Amino acid sequence: MGHNSVQIDPVDASFGATVSGVQVRSLDEPTWQVLHRAWLEYGLLIFPGQYLSRDEQNDFARRFGELEFAAAPISNIGRSGTIHSDPADDVVKAIRGNEGWHHDSTYMPLQAKGAVFTAETVPSNGAPTGFADMRAAYEALDPATQHHLGHLLAYHSLFYSQARAGYMPSKTNDRGGYDAYGYHDGEPSLRPLVKIHPETGRPNLCIGRHAYGIIGMDPIESEALLDRLVQQACQAPRIHYHRWTEGDAIVWDNRRLLHCATEFDLTEPRRMWHTRIAGERASELAVNYA
C-alpha cells in the first residue's frame, strides 16, 4: 500500500481523523510524510485493525521522535493473570487517576511529544479514551483572557494530581517515596499556561489535572481558574471519545491534546499498550529546568 491509497476521514470534532488504507508496520517514506502532515493537522490519528506487535508499535512511535519509554502495559491484569479491581489497589488507583483530563509527562522535566496507544484486550463497553483540543480551546477564549493567560505559569505534579483525586499509592519504598513512574523527587515542573506548538506555531492551552499553583496567585484562586479552564475547554466540538476495538492503534500530539481514560467494569480484563514519545528539549523542557 502506498501513499495514494491512504484515506483520511475527519471525526466529528475540531480535530482528529480515522486513517484507512495503510499498514503502519510497513510504511514507505511518501506514506509516512502524508501521515506526519496529517498528525500535525489533526492532532489525533486513529488506525483501526492494526494488531501491532510491541516492536512494531515502538518502531512506529520512533518515526515521530525518540522514546520516553517503550511499549508498557496500561492494564488491570496482573502478571499472574489476576484482575485488579479493589479500589484500594495501587494499580486501580493509577487507572482511576488517569480519568482526569491531562497531558502526559508535564510533571516530568521534559514533557512528552506524543504517544502511540494500542488495544490488546478490551472490556465490553469499549473503555473509551477521551481527547480534547487545546488549540481550539485557546482560540475560543476572548482576546483579553488570551492575553491574561499568556503571562501565567503553573507547576505540574503527579503528587498533586493523585493526592487531590484521592489516589496516592499506598506502598512506599525504603526512602518513604514511591517507585511508580512520575513520582520523582525533583522540583515540580513549571510551565506556561499557553504553549506555542513548536511545529505549527499555534498557541495551545497547557492545563489539565497535573497543573496547580499559578505563580503570583492565591492557591484557591489558582485552583479555581485551572478547573474552570478545563471545564470550559473540554466541551463539544473540542472533544472526541474513541471507543476501542481490539487491534486499534492511535497516535496523538501531546503538545496539543488533553486526554483522559473513562470508567469501565474493573472486573473485566483490559490491556492496552502505551509507547510515549519524548519531547525535544528546545520546546518541551520545563521553565525551571532550562
Q: What is the 3-state secondary structure (H, E, C) of 125-176?
A: CCCCEEEEEHHHHHHCCCHHHHHHHCCCEEEECHHHHHHHHCCCCCCCCCCC
- At residue 174, the pLDDT reads 81
- At residue 179, the pLDDT reads 86
- The pTM score is 0.96
Cβ neighbours of residue 271 closer than 8 Å, sequence gap 6 or more: 73, 74, 75, 77, 120, 121
- At residue 154, the pLDDT reads 98
Which grid cell sits at 247?
Answer: 487491534
- At residue 56, the pLDDT reads 98
Pick the CATH number of 3-289 from 3.40.120.10, 3.40.430.10, 3.60.130.10, 3.40.50.300: 3.60.130.10
- At residue 2, the pLDDT reads 58
- Per domain, the residue ranges of the chain are 3-289
For 26-60, give one letter per residue: b (16+ CB within 10 A) or e. Answer: ebeeebbebbeebbeebbbbbbeebebeeebbbbb
| Backbone torsions φ then ψ of 90, nearest 5 degrees | -65, -30
- At residue 177, the pLDDT reads 86
Closest CA to 210 of 114, 290, 286: 286
* Average pLDDT by stretches of 10, the chain with 290 residues: 82 98 96 98 98 98 98 95 95 96 98 98 98 98 98 98 96 86 94 98 98 98 98 98 98 98 97 98 97
